[in-house]
Amino acid sequence: MISRRRPSRKPKQKGSPKWMVTFADLVTLVLVFFILLFSMSQIDMIKFKAIAQAFKQDAVFEKDSSIIPGEYPAEEMNKEEADLNEQSLDQLAEEVQKYLQKNELEDTAAAIRNERGVVLVLQEQIVFSTGDAVVLHEAYPFLEKVGKLLETMPNLVKVEGHTDNRPIKNSIYPSNWELSSARASSVIRFFIENGRLAPERFIAVGYGDTRPLAPNISKDNMQKNRRVEIIISDPAYKE
């Protein structure tokens, strides 16, 4: 009996599956992609500092220069407008003071230049009768002068009414609050009706006897406290 030898099987080779090769290539490509992105996002600090330093130099942007010829930086324009406004307020105060001196009204009116702007202080007797809010005819020339000056400038105008601490009570003005408010409104109405002044420029306020210039202990002090103040406001001042 003839014996037959079975063909020997080749031993299986051990190793990674074929799909691992493709996967490894994919991972490598992704890694290279992210490395490129990272390298592209890096800032050359030396170049960055050089550029930043160049912008700081006066040769690039002078403080008093402008990129567009004939134009000024916003800060320069604001400063120029502020200077012009200061000059206008100074001139207004001077004009009113000259008028008061010329017409011998310095004892009953004053023009004060302060941080609020120009404050015109008018005592009661040159504008109103006692306990009344109708503007006297004697006050027309002065108020018309002020109105003409206001037409030359855009500033806001606040008119304040003030009284002494003597109580008032009648059918028209139940208290000093109503009287002081009515007087402020009457002055504003005069400006609007007798000049070319926009109503939105004005503010009327009545303080009654809450803001005296002097203690209400004498007739002279009370007379000082009964007043109207016209404030031509400085835009730079914030109440």
Which pLDDT does position 83 carry in this prediction? 77
Residue 216 located in a structural domain: yes
How far is the CA of 88 from the CAs of 22, 103, 149, 198, in angstroms? 84, 23, 10, 19
Q: Which pLDDT value is given to residue 42?
A: 58
Averaged confidence pLDDT in the chain: 83
Residue 22 lies in a domain: no
Domain ranges, residue 107: 75-233
**pLDDT band, very low/low/confident/very high, at 66 (cuts 50, 70, 90):** very low
Q: CA–CA distance from 75 to each of 15, 66, 81, 87, 210 (Å)?
A: 76, 12, 10, 18, 40
Is pLDDT above 60 for 75? no
Q: In angstroms, how far apart are the furthest CA atoms of the chain?
A: 159
Question: Of 106, 114, 161, 170, which is closest to residue 133 (Cα–Cα)?
Answer: 161
Identify which of 239, 173, 160, 156 has the alpha carbon closest to the alpha carbon of residue 205. Answer: 160
- Min mean pLDDT across 31-35, 91-95, 176-180, 182-186 is at 31-35
Among the ranges given (57-61, 139-143, 192-196, 218-222), the one the predictor scored with the smallest mean pLDDT: 57-61
Quick check: 188 and 159 in contact, CB under 8 A? Answer: yes
Is residue 92 domain-resident?
A: yes
Residue 120 domain flag: yes
Question: Rounded CA gap, 131 and 163, in Å?
Answer: 10
pLDDT the model gives residue 18: 66
**Digit-coded pLDDT (tens) for 10-60:** 555 555 666 666 777 777 877 777 777 666 665 556 555 666 666 555 544
Higher-confidence position of 118 and 82: 118
User: Is position 51 within any domain?
Assistant: no
Q: Name residues whose C-beta falls within 8 Å of residue 130's C-beta, 6 or more positions apart in sequence.
A: 124
Q: From 103, 187, 89, 91, select the one nearest 144 (Cα to Cα).
A: 187
pLDDT for position 12: 56
Distances in whole angstroms, Cα of residue 170 to Cα of each of 31, 132, 176: 93, 11, 10
Residue 84 has pLDDT above 60, yes or no: yes
105-118 pLDDT, tens digit each: 999 999 999 999 99
Q: Is residue 112 part of a domain?
A: yes
Check if the beta carbon of residue 186 is closer than 8 Å to that of residue 160: no
Cα–Cα–Cα angle for 44, 49, 53, rounded to 5 degrees: 155
- CATH number of residue 179's parent domain: 3.30.1330.60
Percentage above 90 pLDDT, the chain: 58
- Residue 47's pLDDT is 58
Q: Exposed, middle or buried, 51 (CB in 10 Å: 0-12/13-18/19+)?
A: exposed
**Is 134 a member of any domain?**
yes
Rounded Cα distance between 125 and 223, Å, is 9
Please give the single-letter amino acid code of residue 57: Q
Select the more confidently predicted residue: 32 or 207: 207
Identify the top-confidence range among 39-43, 75-79, 212-216. 212-216
pLDDT of residue 169: 83
In the chain, the number of structural domains is 1
CA atoms of 86 and 71, how far apart (whole Å) = 23
pLDDT band at 220 (very low <50, low <70, confident <90, very high): very high
Domain assignment of residue 175, yes or no? yes
Averaged pLDDT for residues 92-109:
92
Mean pLDDT calculated for residue range 133-159: 95
Q: Between the CA of residue 124 and those of 165, 184, 189, what are the distances in Å?
A: 14, 12, 17
Residue 181 has pLDDT above 60, yes or no: yes
